[in-house]
Amino acid sequence: MGKPERQDSFEAVYENNFSVIYRLGYRLLGNSEQALDLAQEVFLRLYQRLNGSSPVLDVRSWLYRTASNLSYDWLRRKSRFQKICANHFERPGQDVEQELIKAEENQAMRAALEELSSRDRILLTLYQDELSYEEISRAMGLRRSSVGTFISRAIKSLAKELEKGEKP
């Protein structure tokens, strides 16, 4: 009867974490289809792992680490990485000028993030998702004591890239 329990626990983990892993993928890869592919691949690997011999002790960290590692791989293969071309449509009751300003800010942020290293992009995304330093260290394979330093450096790099984008 061990199999049904594993199945139940997998379904619960999937339901509780799919949107988080999808969102991480979307932020890192910048494409909804690639984010969906990433999330599906992560959960397929988890399912295979749960039905294998080696246990997963900290599922949440395992999910983030696997998603981060797959993202690293995908980002290294630039042919699989596409820029976001967001279409902004006027919606009733919303200020069009504010929407355009927001779209420009989002585009500037995306462009600045794309100039960062894969590690910095992933670090900033995990930090924005409000993971603890401990969770980030496990997901990224870093020492917990150096996570703050890496995040600080990534933020400074992002700020420099944003400044470059503002200059004519």
Q: Which CATH number goes with the domain that contains 84? A: 1.20.140.160
Number of domains in the chain: 1
pLDDT at 56: 81
Q: 88 or 46: whose pLDDT is higher?
A: 46
- Helix, strand, coil percent content, the chain, rounded in steps of 5: 75, 0, 25
30, 104 contact by CB (below 8 A): no
Structural domain of 11: 2-166
Q: Which of 10-14, 17-21, 69-73, 99-103 has the highest mean pLDDT?
A: 17-21
Q: What is the pTM of this model?
A: 0.55
Residue 84 phi, psi (nearest 5): -80, 130
Q: Is the pLDDT of residue 80 over 50?
A: no
Q: Is the pLDDT of residue 3 over 50?
A: no
